[in-house]
Structures are given as structure tokens and as C-alpha cells.
Structure 1
């Protein structure tokens, strides 16, 4: 399947692009939108999928995760990061080290690489597994907020277009194995941020960007809504007497972003064009491999309980090791085991 367009589109492609754009607008946007905070009594994916299961986190006869024959990222994955707004060097370092840790097989157990092995279990129609190699590619800084401090879902695609068409040091166009990661600073608001999403993934439209590129957006919630999007390092105001966890890298906003980044990267590699791995009948509203494990970070997790996690000597909470850092990242659904799992599972 051709994932990018470099020449003028034939009429059929133009119609397809228009149809995709129309469906995007009617459906309300990207196929995946994640929020880690407890849902204040409302039923969510966790409640539906997990039921009363105690032995295996997420096991349920109701979960029907299927492969819909679309492409997945089986070639070495290159993450091209767009830093939108003002970022401290230390914040960038935390996020870069998390991404670099995905392929770092020599990290201490339980490791980020061990977490990614669940993603690697997923295949395309030829039987090829998702790549075990994830590396950082070129980056682009947009310190001047070129598209403003309030972005819509469609203007996010315009930010990506600006990054790949910049006069100086444009990002490379890599539709087959590139993953474009747009990260917005703490003073940037994105449509539906804090109220229903902390991050989402989708693909760019040729009619807007010129190419079909898988991308994810994640926002820094430190100023706008840490109790929602940096949970459990901050807690929602409506939950009294709940003490937040100490973040492992000393930055509540960025440590909260790490799990959302992991969530979106796992889903983007297994369902980049909304036609590969997901549960449900509607590709515009799929339940993907990370949605099924929302809020689970360890054995016994579910609902508003994170499960069994680890405490560092300084009191920080984590569940996996990277190259030089520790991180708290939600678990993922294994279609082989048919339940949620992670490298810190007690039954491993």
C-alpha cells in the first residue's frame, strides 16, 4: 500500500482524500483519544473490558480485538519530534531518553524494552512483526508558536506541514516507517485537551499536508490540568484525600506525558491508518491495544487502582527502567495472552 503522495493526485485519490477529511470532521477527529484520570463514576473502557476479573488484568470474553488487514509499522521506526512552544532542555532529555529506551535491550528488568515486546507481537498480513527498533530521527523546534497557542485538531496537521516544508532543516518525509510526534508546551491549548483527551493519534491528509503520515499529539498538562493528564503524579480535585505519586524524573507534567506518549506510540504502530488492529465495528471510534489497558500499570490494576508498582529509594513511583531513568507507563493488551500485560507483571 502506498502511504504517501508525491505527485498530483488522480481524481479517485482526490475523492478519497475529501472523504477522509469529511469523515474526520464528522467523527470529531483522530481515532484515538486517551485520558488517564479516573472517570468520576462514569463507565469507561476499563470498566467494560475488565469486568470482575481478578487473575488477569483486562481478561474478558467481551474483548474482540481483530486485525483488519491494514499496514502496521514493521520497518525500523523513526520518531520525528516537533517541539511546539518553549521547552526546557531537561524536559526534552527525559522524553528523548524514554524513546531511546524502547530499543535498549540491556536496561535493567523490568524495562521499557520489555514493555515494547508486547507491541512487537502484532503483525501485518504477511506475518511480519512490528519493528523492535525505534530510534530518534530529526527534530523540529517551533519556539515562536507559529500557529498560535490554541490549536484545533486540523491545525495540528498544519503544524506538521510547516515542519516538513520549512525552508531550513525541514523534517524528512517518511510515510512508511516514520512516526511524527507533536509535543505541545504547557502554555498551549489543543481542542478537547483536559476535558476529554490528553493525546491522540491519526494520519495526515494529502489534501492538507501533501502526504499520508502517521502522527501523534501529546500535550504538557502541567499548567492546564495536571490532575487530569498527569495522573497519578497529580490527582483530580473531585477525589478527596488521594495522595499523588512522586514522579520519577522530578517533572510532573513531563512524567505524565511519558505514559501518554507510550500509549499513542503503541497504538500508532499497530493501527497507523485506522484499518489494522482494533476492537469494535467502527474504525472512526476504535478500541485499540492501549485503550484496553487504560489506567493499569501493574498486577491487580483496574479502575482507579494502578496495580502493583515499584518505589525508588527517593520515594518516586515507577514500573519500568530505561537506559538511565525510570518511568511509569501503562500496560498494553496482548492478543496472544488475551489480557493486559507489562514487564513488571508479578506472574512473569
Structure 2
């Protein structure tokens, strides 16, 4: 199974990333300008009706799975089977991703993207052990549907994954299934016990940088609410740069994408160690910026808006 891999690190490290970008190639001003510009590289974006398949590896409570399931269901603004709360909503947040597709569709016949949840695959017996390599993640991703699909591998808090916590909280890539069809996949780890200061911020004190009081997770589960943040960012990156030649900033080997270009930004006025202006649930004290189905509340990352060339927050 061939693939490429894009990692996503969550937290207060976005300033260090930005600083590193400025120094990527000082030999050519034109080349540096290309790196600093968010560009469309003429490749494919995910379009049409795409199924999201969730592959749960390890132990997850039904209540934890429901947090992710409701988030995926909340992405579609056309969903009417369950009550969707008014703005700011998850569906409104996703409309920034749709702007990328609108820009491409102006020049091509490609359709827009719609997402829907299809299947759950449970692997509670740790079929590949509790220490996974990149090869294992690809194999797990291959268990999901391989036609018009994004297969999301979620690993539980007691599973170690190659590169997890050291340089990434999740990643996305693509592979070829047994039928030869190309599909996209995402991996996300539960950082509740392994590296919450890196991958569950702002629901945990940051491992580095300015220190502030952590926020209360909107679904009372810092690990899973952190996974939703990662999933949201990686879904945006997968939709707009699924095969490495879509929308991104910087070199192809280390791109900033629609979500990762705005790491650490959740509301207006954000800065390192401060997530920005957010809403607070009067009952639970949980901080959030988006509402979803079944009364859910989520904290979602800002996305890079291709129309304004800036990080866009919900309010």
C-alpha cells in the first residue's frame, strides 16, 4: 500500500513553526515567496459523496465513541434527521473548507464534497499489539471502505504509535487498496495519558511555552475532545490536499494545510498560551466555539480562509 503522510501537532508551537518557515530557503527570494504563499498545486481535491469510516483500535467507551460520531454527523449542513443547533455550528465551520472546492470548481467540472458517516470497525482486542508502526496504521486504515472513503483510525490512550507525542498528534495520508483504488486515511491518537500537554491543549496545561489555566473540555473528556480538534484539522487537510498536490503552504515534504496553518488559534485575540475568545457552557463550564447534533458542543481550530488569506474563526 503506497502512501504519503502529513503530520499534525497541536498546541502552542505554531509560532515556532512559522519562524522555521521564514528560514526554509534564503537562497532564492522567489522561492521563499512561493513557500510563504498558500497555493493550489493543480492536484485533486476530495469531491463527491465521501464516506467516513471510523476504525476504533483499543478500548473506547460508547460515550467516547459518541463524541466523535456526533462530530462527524454535525459536519453536514443538510442533515435533518437530528436537531442541529444554530450558529456557531460545526457545519458553519466546515463551510470554510468548501471555499477551496468552490475556487477549484470555477475552473473545472469537479463537484463539491459531501461527507457522511458509514461504518464503525471495532478492534478492542489489539490485533496488532499496543505498539504500532506506520505500517500497522496503514494496514488498519485498509480495513475500511476503499472507494470514495476517508478511513479514520483512532487509537486508544494505552496504544503507542510511531512518532506519537514526539512530533505529531495525528496524520493523514493515502493508500491503494486491494482493488487498486486510491483512498484517503487519517490517524489520531488519544493523548489523555501520553502527552496531554502537547496534543490535548488547551484542555491541559501546555508542555512548553506560556503557561495558563487549562480550559474545561466541552464533553468532559480532555482526551476525546482533543482528538476531535485533531480530527477536525486533519479532515480539512485531507479534503483540500488528499494526495499531496492540492492546497498547501511551504514545501511538499512539510506542508502547512487548511487546518495546520492555524494551529493554536480557536477564537479572536488568540496568542501563544491563549486559545482566544470562546463561549462557555453555563452548566458544565466547558469552553467551545461550535454546536453540533444531539446538543453537542465542540472546540474547533481556526481554518485558513483562501478568500481572505487569513485564519478564520467562527466568531
* 1:319 CA displacement: 0.8
**Contact persistence 1:45–1:294 (CA under 8 A):** no
Report the counterpart of residue 139 of structure 2 in structure 1. Answer: 158
* Bigger strand share: 2
| CA displacement 1:287-327 (0-9 Å, x = unmatched) | 21112111100112243321111111032111111111100
**Contact persistence 1:122–1:129 (CA under 8 A):** no
Name the SS of the counterpart of 2:224 in structure 1: helix
* 1:276 CA displacement: 0.9
Report the counterpart of residue 43 of structure 1 in structure 2. Answer: 16
* 1:172 CA displacement: 2.9
**Contact persistence 1:160–1:209 (CA under 8 A):** no
Aligned residues: 294
Q: Provide the C-alpha distance between the structure 1 equivalents of 2:112 and 2:287, rounded to a whole number of angstroms.
A: 29
Report the counterpart of residue 271 of structure 1 in structure 2. Answer: 241
Relative to structure 2, which stretch is displaced further, 63-72 or 257-266?
63-72
Q: 1:113 aligns with which of 91, 99, 117?
A: 91
Query: Could you state the TM-score of these two structures normalised by the residue count of structure 2?
Result: 0.86
Q: 2:267 aligns with which of 280, 298, 312?
A: 298
Q: Provide the C-alpha distance between the structure 1 equivalents of 2:234 and 2:203, rounded to a whole number of angstroms.
A: 19
Residue segments in structure 2 that go unaligned for 5+ positions in a row:
23-32, 79-83
* 1:33 CA displacement: 1.2
Report the counterpart of residue 286 of structure 1 in structure 2. Answer: 255
1:269-348 maps to which residues of 2 (within 5 A)? 269-280=239-250, 282-313=251-282, 314-323=284-293, 324-344=295-315
Q: Provide the C-alpha distance between the structure 1 equivalents of 2:35 and 2:58, rounded to a whole number of angstroms.
A: 42
* 1:61 CA displacement: 11
Report the counterpart of residue 108 of structure 2 in structure 1. Answer: 126
| CA displacement 1:235-280 (0-9 Å, x = unmatched) | 1345675211001001110011111000000000111111111112
Q: Provide the C-alpha distance between the structure 2 equivalents of 1:153 and 1:143, rounded to a whole number of angstroms.
A: 19
Name the SS of the counterpart of 1:213 in structure 2: strand
Q: Provide the C-alpha distance between the structure 2 equivalents of 1:154 and 1:234, rounded to a whole number of angstroms.
A: 30
Q: Provide the C-alpha distance between the structure 2 equivalents of 1:82 and 1:118, rounded to a whole number of angstroms.
A: 26
Aligned: 1:140 with 2:90: no
* 1:43 CA displacement: 1.5
Residue segments in structure 1 that go unaligned for 5+ positions in a row:
1-16, 25-29, 50-59, 164-170
Q: Provide the C-alpha distance between the structure 2 equivalents of 1:333 and 1:129, rounded to a whole number of angstroms.
A: 21
* 1:144 CA displacement: 1.0
Query: Could you state the TM-score of these two structures normalised by the residue count of structure 1?
Result: 0.78
**Contact persistence 1:46–1:294 (CA under 8 A):** no
Report the counterpart of residue 248 of structure 1 in structure 2. Answer: 218
**Contact persistence 1:203–1:273 (CA under 8 A):** yes
Q: Provide the C-alpha distance between the structure 1 equivalents of 2:270 and 2:50, rounded to a whole number of angstroms.
A: 30
| CA displacement 1:63-100 (0-9 Å, x = unmatched) | 41111111111202210110011110000000000110
Structure 1 residues 62 and 275, CA gap change in structure 2 (3 angstroms): closer
| CA RMSD in angstroms, aligned pairs only | 2.5
